[in-house]
Every structure is written in C-alpha cells, then in structure tokens.
C-alpha cells in the first residue's frame, strides 16, 4: 500500500507545512494511539532534539495520544538511540522521536520505534496511515491518557553507553574534542566520555532552538577538526543533531567517516575474536571498504541506503556490525539502531587496546575517490524516470567499466536526487558527477 506520509525514516518536512503542523500532529498522535490501543497497549515514550519546533510537536502528539487513551512519558531533549533503548527498558509499547536529524532547524520530523526498539514494521505504518484517514474522536474523560515527565532519562542513557565498554577499560590519557551539533547529545555525550576517563573539550553544546547543525556537528567536520588542532587533541568526535550519526577526525584533522569507522571496528573485533560474521554496508559504501575487509578475511555485503535496511540484512545474516558512510553505525547486540556515542566508543576502544592512533588504525584501507552532487527537485521520481537520465547513466557505466561505480537515487529525507560517482581519479570522478547531475537537473526542468 502506498504511504501518504511515511518515508524511509518516519515523517519529515518543513515546520508549518503539511505534515509538520499542529493539527496534523494531533491527528497523528491520535492515530498512533488508536493503533496501539487496539492491540492493548497503553504507554508511549517521547523524546526530541533541540529544535524550537519540538515543543509544539511534542504538545500536539501528547494531546493526540491522550485523546486515544494512551499514557505518555516525556523525556525532553535526548538522542534518538536513547529513545530506542529506553522504550525497551521502560517496557513502553512504542517510542517516538521528534527530530529531523542532520537537517536545518526549520525542518522537523517524527520517527517511531516499536516495543523492542526497532523501526516500525510496514504493517504498523500502514495501519497508522489508515487511521489518519479517519476523523479524531476522543475517548471519554475517564479513559483519557496521562502525561508524565521522566527526569532521569539522560542519566539512564549515560550509564547504558558506559556499559557498552568493558569495565576494565578506561580512556585516561586520551584528549577528545566532542562536537554535539547544538543538538540532542549536548547534555549526554560529555558525561559519557569524561566519566570513562577522557580529557574532554566540548563544542556545539549551547542549543538555542535555532542553531542545531549550524556550522557544527557531523555535517560540518571542519569545525571539530579546527578545535582538535587548537587544543592538541588526539581525536575529534562530531555528532549530528539527534545523535544517531557520528564522524571522527584524527590528530592531523583528517576526517574518518562511517566507512573508516566500520573498517576500524570490524578489524579490531576480528583480531580480538569479537566479530560475529561480516559487515553490512550500503550501495554508497566506498569500494575501498569492501576491498580492505576482504583482505582481512571479513565478509561484506551491500544493501539499500537506510539503517533499517542495513539492520534487516544484519539480522538475516546473523551479523552484528553494519552501517552507512554518513556515520550511522549499528552495533548489535549493543544497540538496535544507529548510535553515534556507542560507535565512537567502539573506535576509541580499538585505539586504546591497540595503543594506536586513529590515523594508524585506518591505514589498511585505501578509499577510492567519490564525488556526490545533490540535485534539488520537487519530484525526484520524475527525474529518475527520464530516459535521458537512464541513457547518461548507461553511457557513464560503459566509460568507467570495472574502475568505478555510479549511484543515482532519491533522498529519503530531503527533496533531492543524490548523484554519486566513484572511481580511481578524483578529478575525473568530479567531472563525471557534475555532468551527470546536470543531466538529472535538466530532466527535471530545473
């Protein structure tokens, strides 16, 4: 069944425009509540990032859920993976995250977890969409849901993150810069790393409702790299707005993206006998990652872009590590979703156990140059359906042969078509990506 509102990662859009409006969010809360109530469920947890619009959306969802007879536990600003964890540990029936992740503050979204901390199954999303086609009808006063503020949610999550590291291991002697993107990790990440013994310098931890992801965090790694150089740190760690992504920089300011981190975690786990199975990446993962893992004897498979697809393949293969170039890293059985803090800790564990720097740990992987161009469009499907675009892709694939790869796909979070070209020469890759992007732009009438 086609979905009117759900995308690859919940519901997302511009604040004030459908579907991110107060009336729709009340309706959505009611629809979710009715679906849960029909299954005998009575309690939902809600967390959010630091966008000013989160207050409006939180209140609207709370009203809708209460009108359906469902209780609500409110966590306030807290990372997305914390919601997945706390949904499980508090025995909630579902978890809701109000966030647009790495997007600007003018966007927002609503993401959902089931009782086990996993993304909602298709059948539940469809059931919610069906309820959204019905008018809101409140239960009687005696059956209304109640709302509670949970004051110790952040502390619970800090202890969880620390518990993902062996109790005998500490980070003393490591100088770490944390960039919290003025987002959901601002009141959590500093405590995790400092309590494990690291000497921590924190930036991007002064959210004002409008500065989330603004020239900071994982989408602007030059900011944390500059701070690493300024204070002479060993490593920099930059999260995105809701804390489910992370990128790192070494002491020399060189960026380590999700592919680098997957390689380091996988190889370290393999050498220590901790890695179960292989690694799942996506169609965007660098060919260099696949080649490096193969050299180590570690299996590697690709799936569609999106952490839910990565997780599905991991479970199908009974593997415990997967992720995306963007920095979504899933470490089973520690987490059920991408967790920036947990992933960064796994890299630091590899550094400490191997007594090696971040730069030294990733030396075994040679990444091929990639060029990514985002083409803004109101109708990505129209552009991708063009025969002109298909011909251009086919011609470029013939030109590259087995020396490179091409991926052209619609974004699941923004109204853009992403054009990626990978090959042996950076200048050639850039020219090909620009040329192909121009064809996509022209096909969409832009």
**What confidence tens digit (pLDDT) does each residue in 46-103 have?**
999 999 999 999 999 999 999 999 999 999 999 999 999 999 999 999 999 999 999 9
Strands 416-422 and 405-410 turn out to be antiparallel
Residue 381: pLDDT band (50, 70, 90) is confident
Residue 114 C-beta-side C-alpha neighbours within 13 Å: 13
Q: Which string of DSSP letters, residue by residue, matches 299-360?
A: -EEEE-SSHHHHHHHHHHHT--EEE-TTS-EEETTT-SS--HHHHHHHHHHHHHHHT--HHH
Give residue 353's pLDDT: 95
d(CA 104, CA 241): 9
The residue length of the chain stands at 446
Q: How far is CA 183 from the centre of its chain?
A: 13
Query: pLDDT digits over 133-192, tens only?
Result: 999 999 999 999 999 999 999 999 999 999 999 989 999 999 999 999 999 999 999 999
B/e letters for 218-240, b = 16+ CB within 10 Å, e = fewer, are bbbbebbbebbeeeebbbbbbbb
Question: Which residues does 279 contact at the CB level (< 8 Å), separation at least 6?
Answer: 262, 266, 293, 298, 299, 300, 301, 319, 321, 322
Distance between CA 112 and CA 186 in Å, rounded?
A: 22
C-beta separation of 30 from 136 below 8 A: yes
DSSP string, 408-424: EEE-SSSSEEEEEEE-S
Confidence bin at 377 (pLDDT 50/70/90): confident
Share the mean pLDDT of the chain: 94
423: CB partners within 8 A, 6+ apart: 368, 369, 400, 403, 404, 405, 429, 432
How does 61-77 read in b/e, with b if 16+ C-beta sit within 10 Å?
bbbbbbbbbbbbbbbbb
Separation between Cα atoms, residue 381 and residue 410, nearest integer Å = 7
Whether 446 has a pLDDT exceeding 70, the answer reads no
State pLDDT tens for residues 118-145: 999 889 999 999 999 999 999 999 999 9
Q: Is the pLDDT of residue 414 over 80?
A: no
What domains appear along the chain, each with residue ranges and CATH number? Answer: 11-151 (3.40.120.10), 173-254 (3.40.120.10), 257-367 (3.40.120.10), 370-443 (3.30.310.50)
pLDDT recorded at residue 348 = 98
pLDDT at 445: 66
pLDDT at 352 over 80: yes
Q: List pLDDT tens digits, range 317-331.
A: 999 999 999 999 999
Q: What is the DSSP string of 246-280?
A: EEEEETT--EE-HHHHHHHHHHHHHHTT---S-EE
Burial of 171 (0-12, 13-18, 19+ CB in 10 A): buried
Burial 335-359 (b: 16+ CB within 10 A, else e): bbbbbbbbbbbbbbbbbbeeeeebe
Task: Kindly report the number of other CB atoms within 10 A of residue 388's CB atom.
Answer: 12
Residue 364 contacts residue 260 (beta carbons within 8 Å): no
User: Sorting pLDDT into bands at 50, 70 and 90, what band is 1?
Assistant: low
Q: What is the pLDDT of residues 183-226, one digit of tens each?
A: 999 999 999 999 999 999 999 999 999 999 999 999 999 999 99
Task: Give CA 16 to chain center in angstroms.
Answer: 24
Task: Write the CB contacts of 221 (distance below 8 Å, at least 6 apart in sequence).
Answer: 236, 238, 247, 249, 255
Here the tokens at position 70 are 């469902």
Band of pLDDT at residue 38, cut at 50, 70 and 90: confident
The one-character DSSP state at 219 is: G
pLDDT above 90 (res 339) = yes
Count the neighbouring beta carbons within 10 Å of the beta carbon of residue 296: 15
**Does residue 8 have a pLDDT over 90?**
no
Widest pairwise Cα distance in the chain: 69
**Alpha carbon distance, N-terminus to C-terminus of the chain:** 31
pLDDT tier for residue 255 given thresholds of 50, 70 and 90 = very high
Q: Are 90 and 57 in contact (CB under 8 A)?
A: no
Which residues are identified as catalytic? 101
Can you list the positions of beta strands (E) in 136-216?
147-149, 175-179, 199-203
Q: Is 311 exposed, middle or buried (0-12, 13-18, 19+ CB in 10 A)?
A: buried
pLDDT in tens, 298-312: 999 999 988 889 999
Count helices and strands (H / E) in the chain.
Answer: 15, 18
């Amino acid at each position: 069944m086609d979905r009117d509102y759900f995308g690859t990662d919940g519901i997302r859009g511009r604040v004030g425009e459908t579907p991110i409006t107060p009336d729709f969010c009340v309706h959505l809360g009611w629809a979710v509540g009715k679906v849960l109530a029909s299954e005998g469920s009575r309690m939902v947890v809600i967390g959010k990032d630091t966008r000013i619009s989160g207050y409006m959306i939180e209140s609207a969802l709370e009203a809708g859920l209460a009108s359906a007879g469902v209780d609500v536990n409110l966590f306030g600003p807290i990372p997305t993976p914390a919601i997945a964890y706390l949904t499980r540990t508090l025995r909630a029936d579902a978890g809701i995250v109000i966030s647009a992740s790495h997007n600007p503050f003018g966007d927002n979204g609503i993401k959902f977890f089931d009782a086990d901390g996993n993304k909602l199954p298709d059948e539940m999303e469809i059931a919610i969409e069906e309820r959204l086609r019905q008018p809101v009808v409140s239960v009687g006063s005696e059956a209304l849901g109640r709302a509670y503020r949970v004051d110790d949610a952040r502390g619970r999550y800090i202890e969880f993150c620390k518990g993902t590291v062996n109790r005998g291991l500490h980070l003393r002697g490591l100088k770490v810069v944390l960039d919290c993107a003025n987002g959901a990790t601002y009141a959590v990440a500093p405590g995790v790393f400092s309590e494990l013994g690291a000497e921590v310098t924190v930036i991007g931890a002064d959210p004002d409702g409008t500065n989330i992801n603004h020239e900071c965090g994982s989408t602007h790694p030059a900011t944390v790299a500059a701070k690493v150089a300024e204070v002479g740190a060993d490593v920099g760690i930059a999260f995105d707005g809701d804390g489910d992504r992370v990128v790192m920089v070494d002491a020399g300011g060189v960026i380590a993206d999700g592919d680098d981190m997957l390689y380091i975690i996988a190889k370290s786990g393999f050498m220590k006998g901790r890695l179960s199975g292989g690694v799942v990446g996506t169609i965007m993962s660098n060919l260099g990652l696949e080649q490096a893992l193969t050299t180590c004897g570690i299996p590697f498979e690709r799936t569609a872009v999106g952490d839910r697809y990565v997780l599905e393949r991991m479970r199908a293969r009974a593997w415990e590590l997967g992720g995306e170039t963007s920095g979504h890293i899933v470490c089973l059985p520690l987490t059920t979703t991408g967790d920036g803090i947990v992933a960064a800790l796994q890299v630091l564990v590899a550094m400490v156990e191997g007594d090696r720097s971040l730069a030294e740990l990733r030396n075994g992987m040679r990444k091929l140059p990639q060029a990514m161009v985002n083409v803004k469009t109101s109708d990505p499907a129209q552009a991708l359906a063009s025969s002109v675009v298909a011909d251009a892709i086919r011609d470029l694939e013939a030109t590259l042969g087995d020396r490179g790869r091409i991926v052209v796909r619609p974004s699941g979070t923004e109204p853009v078509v992403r054009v990626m070209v990978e090959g042996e020469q950076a200048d050639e890759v850039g020219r090909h990506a620009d040329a192909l992007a121009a064809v996509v732009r022209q096909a969409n009438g832009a």
